Amino acid sequence: MKDRLRLAGHLGLSAPDRPLLAHIGRSVDPLDQIDALADHGFAGVQDLFLKLRPPSEQAAMAEHMARRGLALSSFGGDPMHWNLPLWSAEDEAGRDAVEASVASSCDLAARFGGTGAVCVAGFDAARPRSAQLAAMTENLKRHAEAAARSGLVLLVEPIAESRIPGLLLHRLEDGLDMVRAVAMPSVRLLFDIGHVAMMGHDVPTALTASRDAIGLIQLADIPGRVDPGLGQLDCAAILRQIAAEGYAGLVELEFEPVDQTAEGEKRMLSRLAGMTGS
């Protein structure tokens, strides 16, 4: 691949002790995992649980990532409340909670030299969906400038209802409308290839249609969330398209390897190398 894509590996999706390279790394400790990712050619790190780590550990991670030349691609904006209707709050208490969440995300972005916070909202069955979408849009707009000053990107992620029910954003179109309505570079779309496919979209077509709004791309094959190359998607062709269309950001590998052994992780990395030309 002429313009090789830069990949990011995670420090745990279902739990902080189940990182992408759990068996290749010396241990599941985040510093050991940062080393493992750097040693295997990754350019970035995703940590959904970063906000739950002690400040001393966050500082050690930021220093170690800088030393190894890795960027923090994203973290969970609200790891304890991600499936609650926080971002769609219209009341004063709810908006205060959003403000506090964004403030702590801004602090992390400044510490790590810029990054993205994943923004997901639960659906409140007592309120119209349209009103909740409008409220989330306004809350994102309200904090976009503060995010920009700290090097933070608020990443709006639509999630397939078949995979995780009960969330506000379960349509790609709603996420796109939201990002375009805010119209700020600090509010962007998180394009999750697996979720977009599970929504019934043709991924290549959806990528082209979303190109102007995308701030981060995540990769997983389907059905379920499996290693690229083990499912139904032509992941190699999708990755070639991403590179050809000039995407300059990181591509996060957001799956747990099917074969959770050292050899299984090595085979996963080998398949990815074949897809990306690395």
* Res. 277: pLDDT tops 80: no
As a whole number of angstroms, the distance between CA 106 and CA 123 comes to 25
Residues pairing with 10 in the sheet: 46
**Around 171, how many Cα atoms within 13 Å sit in the side-chain half-sphere?**
8
Helix then strand then coil, in percent of the chain rounded to 5, is: 45, 15, 40
As a whole number of angstroms, the distance between CA 199 and CA 157 comes to 13
As a whole number of angstroms, the distance between CA 241 and CA 245 comes to 6
As a whole number of angstroms, the distance between CA 133 and CA 168 comes to 7
Residue 264 near residue 272 (C-beta atoms within 8 A): no
The residues, any chain, with a CB within 8 Å of residue 141's CB and separated by 6 or more, are: 181, 182, 184, 187
Give me the pLDDT at residue 82, please. 94
For 105-233, list the strands marked E by DSSP.
Answer: 115-119, 152-156, 187-192, 214-219
Mean pLDDT of 126-139: 98
Handedness of CA 90, 92, 94, 98 (dihedral sign): positive
* Res. 1: pLDDT tops 50: no
* Res. 54: pLDDT tops 80: yes
**pLDDT confidence tier of residue 276, bands split at 50, 70 and 90:** confident
* 211-228 pLDDT per residue, tens: 999 999 999 999 999 999
Structural domains in the chain plus CATH codes: 6-276 (3.20.20.150)
